[in-house]
Amino acid sequence: MLKQNTTQISNTKFSQKKVELSDTPLFFPQGYENIFLLIYAVLLPYIVGLLFLFFYISKSNMEIFTTVYQNSFFILTWAIGYEIIAGIALLWIIKIAIGFEGEKVSYAQKQFRIP
């Protein structure tokens, strides 16, 4: 007995599809997706900003770091971390784009042979 293909192709546009946060690869507990998305958007750039302040600005010196940390605002530290994450994301996108460009060249160099 053959199984029928139950996959249906929907005619809805991509921009009109409903986004399910539970299908994303990040850790979103069921029912708390929006709360954790907000937590990730606030905490990840702040932690990256703190690491930048500790390793780059204070050169891993705890005394200098505590002085810089006490004199910096939350939004300043968050903005530094956000810019670092955005820069890394842009570099990753450029790397992927260069990888796709290399694939196009390799397909163009193949010669067609009749079997």
Neighbour-count burial of 111, counting CB atoms closer than 10 A to its CB (0-12 exposed, 13-18 middle, 19+ buried): exposed
Give tens-digit pLDDT for 57-97.
889 899 988 998 888 889 999 999 999 999 999 999 999 88
- pTM of the prediction? 0.60
Q: How many domains does the chain have?
A: 1
- CA dist 30 and 24 (Å) reads 12
Domain membership of residue 78 (yes or no) is yes
Domain holding 52, by residue range, is 31-108
**Does some domain include residue 21?**
no
